[in-house]
Amino acid sequence: MATHLKNLSDFSHTSIPNGKGFRIALVAAEWNAKITNSLYQGAYHALLANGVSAEDIISTTVPGSFELTAAAEILLTKNLSIDAVICLGCVIQGETKHFDFICNAVANGITNVGIKHSKPVVFGVLTTDNEQQAIDRAGGKHGNKGEEAAITALKMITFSNIF
């Protein structure tokens, strides 16, 4: 089925671990705030709905998506007993190559921080062609990628605790 025909935030086919006792950082970019606020709300409420207590959610913001990597690194280096970092941002294609450079740097940076710390660092960054695509994925007809990022964090924390 084509992406444009369905809500991608459907978890009916999978089990979601209970997040009780998990400590999770939510880092949201301020750039494209209308979108990132929706992503944040989706992630925050998904964590609460799946057992994470409000006291165990560390929320912070950074200026833009590029800064998400540094924020994740700082949070995990400060040894705040964080089980996962969820990075939320939105980069919308413009007329220059800036989009490509930012998306590539953020994706690689988030991956590298996770590998360095052996902790889940979740990529909850929308990389869209236009604002409408972002709206559709931040609580619109295609679901909420923030919610998906929260579920990913819970699953990856559970996975990392197995080994």
Catalytic positions are: 98
Give the count of alpha carbons within 13 A of 87, CB side only: 33
Q: What are phi and psi of 72, to 5 degrees?
A: -60, -45
CA–CA separation, 163 and 147 (whole Å): 25
**Nearest-angstrom CA–CA distance, 81 and 24:** 9
